Amino acid sequence: MIEWIIILLLLCAMFILFFLYIRQSRMIETRAREIFSAWRMQEREDLSRWRAEELGRLSDEKAAILFEGWKTREEETIRSDAIRRSESVTRGKMTEHLIPFFPDFPYNPKDARFLGSPVDLIVFDGLSDEKVTEIVFVEIKTSRNPSLSRREREVRDCVNEKRVRYQMIQQAPNTREPEDTTPREYMGPGTGDPGTG
């Protein structure tokens, strides 16, 4: 009978051990799953972060490459446009200086004086014949669609509205203030002395 008690005790102990083993196995398995899930989540986050950083880096590199290409193309375009405009301006400036010597220029080239700004030329018509009959403000345009600048329009309007005058300023020796600064009005061609009406 003792044998049966020992066998029964051993069976109980084995049953308890088996029960503890299964419980411990489940706990270990559950803990392993939790650790694995946490690791997998961390790996996914790390992978997502790495992917986002890598995509950001690659997109920045691609943007930099595209920007450099665009910048190079635009610089070439801007330079060629600047050269073209510079050539056009240079051609226009040369024309402004040379136009009095063109055959279709309506005045004697000796009567023309280059001013440049705000008008290109002032023609003292008849100056070479020692009898000025008219003073003409000339603006030269070489473009296909000529237009006047704001300053050029203001000068044109002043001339058209007869807001033009002749003024003599005499600097007295050893002084800096003019003696006669009284404005004299230009009355138009053939009206006599300026200022006498």
Per-residue pLDDT of the chain (197 residues; tens, 9 = 90+): 788 888 888 888 888 988 888 989 899 999 999 999 999 999 999 999 999 999 999 999 999 999 999 999 999 999 999 898 888 778 878 887 888 888 898 999 999 998 888 888 999 999 999 999 999 999 888 777 888 889 999 999 999 999 988 888 888 777 555 555 666 665 555 555 544 44
> Edge to edge, what strands does the sheet with 121-125 contain?
112-114, 121-125, 134-138
pLDDT of residue 189: 57
Q: Which residues touch 178 (CB under 8 Å, ≥6 apart)?
A: 169, 170, 171, 172
Residue 120: burial class (beta carbons within 10 Å; 0-12, 13-18, 19+):
buried
What is the residue extent of each domain of the chain? 43-163, 165-197
